Amino acid sequence: MKTINIFVCGTAFWDTLTAEQQDILVRTAREAGEYQNRILVEFEEEILEKMKADGVTVTPINYEDYKAAVEAFYSYPEFSYWTPGLYETIKKIIAE
């Protein structure tokens, strides 16, 4: 499971930064996220191997089946109040 870390600041602060400072913050945040994801993958592999060694049955996820199963969730009429375009964005992500 990936943890999402978000850098949040108001425009009153952001607008006081130079373009170079803004770029540094954006690049650094992306690099930190990529680093965190790499560490997570390594940790996941280590933990899975440890679990298998202890006799746990690990069943890999079939992502295509998962995508098909959750697709109907986003078709519910209850989600008609979503922000315009959000449903289409989700459908695009699911299709990837």
3-state secondary structure 58-77: CCCCCHHHHHHHHHHHHHCH
| pLDDT score for 57 | 94
DSSP state of 17: S
| pLDDT score for 87 | 77
> Which residue carries 């440890």 as its tokens?
50
Nearest to 92 by CA among 71, 78, 77, 73: 71
> Which residue carries 């996941």 as its tokens?
44
DSSP state of 55: T
| pLDDT score for 7 | 79
| pLDDT score for 90 | 79
DSSP state of 82: S
| pLDDT score for 96 | 72
pLDDT along the chain (96 residues), means of 10: 75 96 92 89 91 93 85 68 80 78
Nearest to 79 by CA among 68, 67, 91: 91
